[in-house]
Structure 1
Amino acid sequence: MRTPLLAGNWKMNGSADLVEAFGRAFAEAELPKGLEVVIFPPFPYLEAAQRVFAGTPLRLGAQTLNPLHSGAHTGEVSGRMLCEFGVRYALVGHSERRQLYREGDEQVFDRLLAALSVGLTPVLCVGETLEERDAGRTMEVVLRQVGFAMSRLEPEQRRLIVIAYEPVWAIGTGRTATPEQAQEVMAAIRAYQAEYDRELAAELRLLYGGSMNAGNAAELLAQPDIDGGLVGGASLKVDDFLAICQSAG
């Protein structure tokens, strides 16, 4: 049985006060049994979050990482550094990294390998733009991004990956893929994996990202191939994110 996972990506938002507020709320919260919850704060808040989240169900993730372990790379952060702050997960290939920072499939894969090499669980983000969806290229784009990474991994490495489908046209726009649209893509990703590893396909955790909120989370999470969510804006509001987590029961 796949463990449900809800992840809050704060992007370049948040504050020390928000870290404290999440720690207090989740220390007392009753969450669905077996649910895994991860917060991806900006790097400056990792030390505070490691301290504040201790004793709560919250785990820590990093929004990106450099493919190298060390060196003359001003402004960058390595996976080894992240591990010192209790980080367990790392986003790779988020649409904003792909679009704003021109990270292509090769660069995304390098970061994925870097995460695996230090024991972090990569959350591989994939998704199509509005233009690609309107052109009927959703499956082509998504499965290319998935296949580029998964086909280059060893079988035991593939089992450590989480995949987040984030339709780019639904991120931060208030537009959300319908549960049926999201399920269709998730089912295609799982079927694609099943072509060469049925056991992996059954175990692979798939998250939906794209304006998930307290109002639509339950319906999205009820879909058979959606195992959780990568939440953006709603993860900056303690009550909203807690409500999303509680809807996963």
Structure 2
Amino acid sequence: MVRRPLVVGNWKMNGTRESRKALLADILSGVSETDSAEVGVCAPFVFIPEAAELLESKSILLGAQNVADEDEGAFTGEISAPMLREFGCDLAIVGHSERRLLYGESNQLVAARYKKALDHGLTPILCVGETLDQREQGDTFAVIDGQLAAVFDLAGVESLANAVIAYEPVWAVGTGRTATTEQVQEIHEYLRRKISEREPEISASLRILYGGSVKPENARTLFGMPDVDGGLIGEASLDAESFLSICHSV
């Protein structure tokens, strides 16, 4: 089965209104519907309405960097899936390593966010991955198994038919360090095999992205691995030339 690659820029907490408009305009000028890769951007919440206007009827997907685990209520600071849909979002990142590490999001909370995204027609980008300590202790697969199990218990493996997975080795996110192509392929193959054991057809069509200091210099090699279907791009997505170079590396 041919999986169309997906490259998503995660702008994190960066930029100003004007700089993000300029960045998006530059990205739009370099992306077309005929490109090999599908392209998306995940903007800070406050920039989403304007981004939605700029992207209306365009080929770039719009996403949020998180989504609430509730539909509405007294949850100060949270943004719900229905709100994101109303403002034109297609995607929502859940379980990013920075959310897990800096804000203490548990596997169960991530799973709840994931399910709410699905319930309201958003495509969740489920992030999984291990810290350096966990890798050095040989716990990589156990950590990933736990992250997946929480999602499967709540939403079922079949939910992945409408989702994307992103493998993020935490030690390579924003550090400038990059996993070797062999390390990346090993984990991506493991993820696909684990899912195939329960849902072979879904596994074959599931897009698994790599997120860990992807740059124009290493993108082509990383994306050339058989189980790598694109990338979740952090720092390099803040520069249009770099981001477009990565998109065109597929």
The 5-angstrom pairing of residues 78-93 of structure 1 reads 78-93=80-95
In structure 2, how many angstroms separate the alpha carbons of the residues matched to 1:24 and 1:178? 33
The alpha-carbon distance between structure 1 residues 13 and 30, as it changes in their structure 2 partners (threshold 3 A), is: closer
1:5 is aligned to 6
2:126 is aligned to 124
Asked if the contact 1:183/1:224 (under 8 Å) is kept, the reply is yes
The alpha-carbon distance between structure 1 residues 27 and 231, as it changes in their structure 2 partners (threshold 3 A), is: closer
Distance apart, 1:60 and its partner CA:
0.6
What's the secondary structure of 2:76's corresponding residue? coil
Distance apart, 1:224 and its partner CA:
0.3
The alpha-carbon distance between structure 1 residues 155 and 175, as it changes in their structure 2 partners (threshold 3 A), is: closer
Distance apart, 1:40 and its partner CA:
0.6
Would you say how many aligned residue pairs link Structure 1 and Structure 2?
248
Asked if the contact 1:90/1:122 (under 8 Å) is kept, the reply is yes
Matched, 1:21 2:44: no
Distance apart, 1:27 and its partner CA:
3.1
Distance apart, 1:80 and its partner CA:
0.5
Provide structure 2 residue ranges, at least 5 long, that are not aligned to the other structure: none
2:101 is aligned to 99
Q: What is the CA deviation profile of residues 197-219 of structure 1, one whole-angstrom value per residue up to 9, with x for unaligned ones?
A: 11111111100001001111110
1:193 is aligned to 195
Pairwise CA RMSD: 1.4
**Paired residue type of 2:67:** L
2:248 is aligned to 246
Asked if the contact 2:23/2:238 (under 8 Å) is kept, the reply is no
1:62 is aligned to 64
Residue range with higher mean Cα deviation, 229-238 or 151-160: 151-160
In structure 1, how many angstroms separate the alpha carbons of the residues matched to 2:162 and 2:58? 24
What's the secondary structure of 1:66's corresponding residue? coil
**Paired residue type of 2:165:** I
In structure 1, how many angstroms separate the alpha carbons of the residues matched to 2:152 and 2:206? 12
Asked if the contact 2:216/2:243 (under 8 Å) is kept, the reply is yes
Asked if the contact 2:216/2:242 (under 8 Å) is kept, the reply is yes
Provide structure 1 residue ranges, at least 5 long, that are not aligned to the other structure: none
Distance apart, 1:151 and its partner CA:
4.3
TM-score (norm 1): 0.95
